[in-house]
Amino acid sequence: MEFGEGRMARRKPSIYDVAKVAGVSHQTVSRVLNLHNNVSDPMRQKVLSAMADLEFRPNQTAKALATGKTSTIGVLSHNTTLFGPASMLHAVQNSARELGYTINIVSLKSIDHQSIVEGIEELVRVGVDGIVIIAPLAKGVGPLPHVSDYLPAVLVEGEPISAIPSLNFNQFSGAAMAVEHLIALGHKRIAHISGPKNWYEAQQRMNGWRNTLLKSGLKADLIVAGDWSPQSGYDAVKELMVLGKPTAIFAGNDGMALGALKALSELGISVPTQMSLVGFDNMPEAPFLVPGLSTVNQDLGALGNQCVNLLVKLINHEDTGDIQLAFEPVLIIRGSTARAESK
Amino acid sequence: MEFGEGRMARRKPSIYDVAKVAGVSHQTVSRVLNLHNNVSDPMRQKVLSAMADLEFRPNQTAKALATGKTSTIGVLSHNTTLFGPASMLHAVQNSARELGYTINIVSLKSIDHQSIVEGIEELVRVGVDGIVIIAPLAKGVGPLPHVSDYLPAVLVEGEPISAIPSLNFNQFSGAAMAVEHLIALGHKRIAHISGPKNWYEAQQRMNGWRNTLLKSGLKADLIVAGDWSPQSGYDAVKELMVLGKPTAIFAGNDGMALGALKALSELGISVPTQMSLVGFDNMPEAPFLVPGLSTVNQDLGALGNQCVNLLVKLINHEDTGDIQLAFEPVLIIRGSTARAESK
DNA sequence: GTCGGAATTGTTACCGGTAACATAAGGAAG
DNA sequence: CTTCCTTATGTTACCGGTAACAATTCCGAC
């Protein structure tokens, strides 16, 4: 009987109804609700039992209007189907709930300026207390700097902007680690399958790849752009084998690495003996590919957690200074990488 | 300049502020806001320009309080990291946004009675207009029947209950299709790696497997339960090979199939020549496994869409009768299934 | 010229809470 | 026995909108 009876019949009881039943003022009810201690025990009991009788549930909307705080955190995201964003979202939601916040999601169809502005507008209108922006955007961030003037916001996975606190894993160094690993194995021709060019993370991973190669005196010319999907990784390999003959491939994410693995298998190129392969993300499937995928791990759960904590501090006006945090990812070596064939 | 200036300085303007600037009553502002047609053109212009000057954004919270409608749909979900729930969530959010609704997510840590009640309580308190329950729960649904008395709700992926409209893909028939396919290929010993026993979908897929086998006079004794993860699929295969020697495996989802593939590879059992394998879900990775995974496809996007449409109808009191819809999934045959070896 | 109705604008009440202030009762200090 | 301060409770205003109703103007019809 937890949720009342009667087909949505009678109006939900308010604190006034409770007050009437308990024979007290509505303010006393409010005090009981908010655990004020200046309420005598008998009075509190009367109120509590009246609330129970009426199956009273406080109206969060009314509270939000009165206090100006909605206890809601807005999440501006893109494709919540992808592993990264999905993990972040999950982590953010968990952390937020623990802190008494509700999550309100707006997921954009595309990440152009227009959509972003609309998304933020929507969250402002809905009245969130703060915004977590899980956007991979690299530039065209025209409006973003102003968000923080209007509403607390933190940025994840996007290009750090001075005006907005941002949290990230260091994509550049993650990529560098992957490539250094390959170089240490003796590889000279190391290709890259990048993510979409307008994603900040894709750019950083690509930069890490290029920079590391150049630093070692190797050429960084074998590169094809994908869209994170296995399909694009598959296509990319077919393209790469025309462009030149790499002995190792650094894929921008695990999904594309998975597609690459398929293409290599079809081409009769065995991994890791003839081709080494590294991914990025360490998704749950990575250890179970054949061979197990060497990849770069980032603890997205921890990041999401940090992110919410920071945002809540901002909401409570605990000044935190200008924060641009970058965490370090970790390279995980599995079976997909091996010494380059010595010819 | 879209989002105001000054470090969260001045209070946000209300319709009264706009009214004062425009020299009209607040009600006229409200009328302009709601596109009422009984407003003269010059008046409307004055109001609009005042709104622009003040960078006015309507306060959704106040509107919600006044109208009793929050234009928010609550989503009660479980693990939004899994492919199924993540896809559903994404679809629901897209459809909802198109209909002018915002999404409020509560993702449960576990799916026991207690957590579910808490989750619903939270959504009620926050004040959503309706709830989409993406819960795999099979029973222990004590409180659920009463939700619909209190708030419109639809159930996805869960066991249909007469009191709540539910939308589902027919898991039973999906599983049956998969197993029939294997039987048609001449397999006699067909094992199943099931999902968690308390998930409705897992139960249905298992029932479909068992029923189809029995109908064909085959034994349904080779079964191991997993938890949807690749790891559990991997472990399950190792277990299965001890229990008996199947020639085909029907995995409860693609993730476990992926893990199974790995284990089979380690055991030197080649797919599909020595072992056929079918998954469920058709996640984006499925075609790119080696070999491509035969699996059961369900258009979760369409389901999410239907689901929101139905819920919105319920919210608007358009009576829809008792609805229990089941869509038919589609078997997709790829390289992981082949004729049983003729001994 | 007068009357009735439609179109436009304004007034007041209300949604369900919280906050600030007012009041009453009770106890310790002088 | 006052006086003052604390504690418990009630009153009133307010958050920012919408809804219902009142008031005014402008027309066409009689």
Question: Could you identify the residue whose CA is nearest to the C1' atom of nucleotide C12?
Answer: B27
Check CB contact under 8 Å for A288 and B8: no
Quick check: B31 and B39 in contact, CB under 8 A? yes
Q: Within 7 A of a protein CB, which nucleotides of strand C? A: 7-12, 14-20
Assess if residue A336 is contained within a domain. Answer: no
Segment A147-157 shows an average pLDDT of 79
Q: Tell me: do A42 and A105 sit in the same domain.
A: no
Best of B1, B3, B82, B317 to disrupt the A interface by mutation (most A CBs within 10 Å)? Answer: B3
Quick check: B19 and B26 in contact, CB under 8 A? yes
Check CB contact under 8 Å for A143 and B2: yes
Give the pLDDT band of residue B235 (cuts 50, 70, 90). very high
SS3 B11: coil
DSSP assignment of B253-284? SHHHHHHHHHHHHHTT--TTTT-EEE-SB--T
Q: Tell me: do B83 and B141 sit in the same domain.
A: yes
Segment A141-165 shows an average pLDDT of 73
Burial class (CB in 10 A: 0-12, 13-18, 19+), A66: exposed
CA gyration radius, chain A: 26
Give the pLDDT band of residue A221 (cuts 50, 70, 90). very high
Segment B179-207 shows an average pLDDT of 95
Nearest CA in chain A to B108: A94
Give the pLDDT band of residue A342 (cuts 50, 70, 90). low
Q: Tell me: do B126 and B273 sit in the same domain.
A: no
Q: Which residues of B touch A60 (CB under 8 A)?
A: 125-127
Confidence check: pLDDT of A109 > 90: no
Check CB contact under 8 Å for B117 and A149: no
Q: Tell me: do A281 and A315 sit in the same domain.
A: no
Q: Write down the pLDDT at residue B146.
A: 63
**How many domains does chain B divide into?**
3
Q: Write down the pLDDT at residue B113.
A: 78
Q: Write down the pLDDT at residue B342.
A: 64
Q: Tell me: do A239 and A181 sit in the same domain.
A: yes
Q: Write down the pLDDT at residue B288.
A: 98
* Three-point CA angle B172, B174, B178, nearest 5°: 115
- CA B36 to C1' C3, whole Å: 29
Nearest alpha-carbon partner for A164 in A176, A177, A151: A151
Quick check: B127 and A60 in contact, CB under 8 A? yes
Nearest alpha-carbon partner for A124 in B53, B61, B130, B95: B61
Confidence check: pLDDT of A138 > 80: no
Assess if residue A64 is contained within a domain. Answer: no
Q: For residue B91, what are its two tokens?
A: 């679809």
Residues 6+ apart with CB under 8 A from B11: none
Chain B closest CA to A287's CA: distance in Å?
Answer: 9
The model's pLDDT over B274-317, given as tens digits with 9 standing for 90+, comes to 999 999 999 999 999 999 999 999 999 999 999 999 999 999 88
Give the pLDDT band of residue B7 (cuts 50, 70, 90). very low
Q: Write down the pLDDT at residue A142.
A: 54
Instruction: Kindly determine whether the C-beta of residue B125 is less than 7 Å away from any atom of nucleic acid strand D.
Output: no
Q: Write down the pLDDT at residue B27.
A: 93
| Spatial distance between the Cα atoms of B74 and A324, rounded to a whole number of angstroms | 33
Q: Tell me: do B93 and B241 sit in the same domain.
A: no
Nearest CA in chain A to B74: A104
Check CB contact under 8 Å for B104 and A109: no
Q: Tell me: do B42 and B125 sit in the same domain.
A: no
Pick A284's closest partner by Cβ from B104, B147, B229.
Answer: B229
Q: Where are the alpha helices (DSSP H) in B23-59?
A: 26-33, 41-54
Largest Cα separation within chain A, whole Å, is: 92
SS3 B141: coil
CATH, residue A48? 1.10.260.40
Check CB contact under 8 Å for A5 and B149: yes
Q: Which residues of A touch B334 (CB under 8 A)?
A: none
Give the pLDDT band of residue A158 (cuts 50, 70, 90). confident
Q: Which residues of A touch B81 (CB under 8 A)?
A: 86-87, 90
| Spatial distance between the Cα atoms of A100 and A151, rounded to a whole number of angstroms | 19
Q: B330 has which bridge partners? A: B297
Q: Tell me: do B119 and B77 sit in the same domain.
A: yes
Q: Write down the pLDDT at residue A324.
A: 79
Q: Write down the pLDDT at residue A2.
A: 39
Q: Write down the pLDDT at residue B1.
A: 34
Give the pLDDT band of residue A325 (cuts 50, 70, 90). confident
Check CB contact under 8 Å for B284 and A231: yes
Nearest alpha-carbon partner for A189 in A237, A246, A271, A270: A246
Q: For residue B279, what are its two tokens?
A: 């998954």
The model's pLDDT over A285-304, given as tens digits with 9 standing for 90+, comes to 999 999 999 999 999 999 99
Assess if residue A342 is contained within a domain. Answer: no
Q: Tell me: do A277 and A133 sit in the same domain.
A: no
Best of B2, B83, B94, B258 to disrupt the A interface by mutation (most A CBs within 10 Å)? Answer: B2
Residues 6+ apart with CB under 8 A from B132: B73, B74, B75, B76, B92, B153, B154, B156, B307, B308, B311
Q: Tell me: do A280 and A318 sit in the same domain.
A: no
Check CB contact under 8 Å for B90 and A81: yes
Q: Within 7 A of a protein CB, which nucleotides of strand D? A: 7-12, 14-20
Confidence check: pLDDT of A145 > 80: no
Percent of chain A topping pLDDT 90? 69
Give the pLDDT band of residue B59 (cuts 50, 70, 90). very high
Q: Write down the pLDDT at residue B82.
A: 87
Assess if residue A339 is contained within a domain. Answer: no
Assess if residue A337 is contained within a domain. Answer: no
Confidence check: pLDDT of B4 > 50: no
Q: Tell me: do B192 and B282 sit in the same domain.
A: yes
Instruction: Kindly determine whether the C-beta of residue A24 is less than 7 Å away from any atom of nucleic acid strand D.
Output: yes
Assess if residue A8 is contained within a domain. Answer: no
Q: For residue A267, what are its two tokens?
A: 């081409």
Confidence check: pLDDT of A135 > 90: no
Assess if residue B113 is contained within a domain. Answer: yes
Confidence check: pLDDT of B178 > 90: yes
Percent of chain B topping pLDDT 90? 69
CATH, residue B108? 3.40.50.2300
Which domain covers residue A319, as residue numbers? Answer: 71-170+300-328
Q: Tell me: do B215 and B253 sit in the same domain.
A: yes
Segment B139-161 shows an average pLDDT of 71
Assess if residue A4 is contained within a domain. Answer: no
Segment A159-187 shows an average pLDDT of 91
| Spatial distance between the Cα atoms of A133 and A168, rounded to a whole number of angstroms | 12
Give the pLDDT band of residue B232 (cuts 50, 70, 90). very high
Confidence check: pLDDT of A174 > 90: yes
